[in-house]
Structure 1
Amino acid sequence: MNKRDRELYQVKAEILKAISHSVRLAIIDFLKDGEKSVNDIAKWVGGSQSNISKHLSVLKRIGIVGDRKEGLNRFYYLKIFCVTDFSSCVNETLKKKIEYDRKLVYK
């Protein structure tokens, strides 16, 4: 593997690491229906605004979400919608794993 490939895989790993937190996955899922305020996200996820803001900054830094300010409020939105396809892929993988595990248990 050459240096460029290694760097590319490193960046991919950083993106996957950024979305590999349950709160961030929930935020991504919530934002797929449109722009939301930090307050709305915090209420839905069940965390403090401060904690949610930290998670949003991670997602923003890697480019998955964007934001805009309106008065005193900050609104977040998905910039990269294909991340929801990845979430669907994870759900499908989970279903297959559950089916496989059930077959093992009930054999």
Structure 2
Amino acid sequence: MMRNSPNYKKIYHDIILKICPERETEFNFFLEKENLFSWDIVRLDNLIFHSKDSDSIIFDQRHRSYDDETIIYIINYQEENKLNNSLTSKYFRISKNTLTKWKKRYKS
């Protein structure tokens, strides 16, 4: 059985047109991509809704999921920028334990 994923490009384009149409060109980088990865969606969400309260941030963080491409992107980002697990986890707002598990799983 094939699972369809939401058309995030369409969803976020509609959100941008409704909430902040004057900033549409600012988001073209994301909207012109062939595929949006989960990290792109997180970044788009942060750019559009940058003034979230702490409860919303905590809720969003607990219900976030990452696809394989995003996990590999995060691991590569850490290596390219020579960051330790602590700095990487703060930058991407993920737990150090999660990052360690990902590295074990994807580096082998």
Bin for the TM-score computed over the shorter chain: 0.3 to 0.5
Higher RCO structure, 1 or 2 (CA under 8 Å, sep 6+): 1
For normalisation by structure 1, the TM-score amounts to 0.33
Specify the structure having the higher radius of gyration (Cα): 1
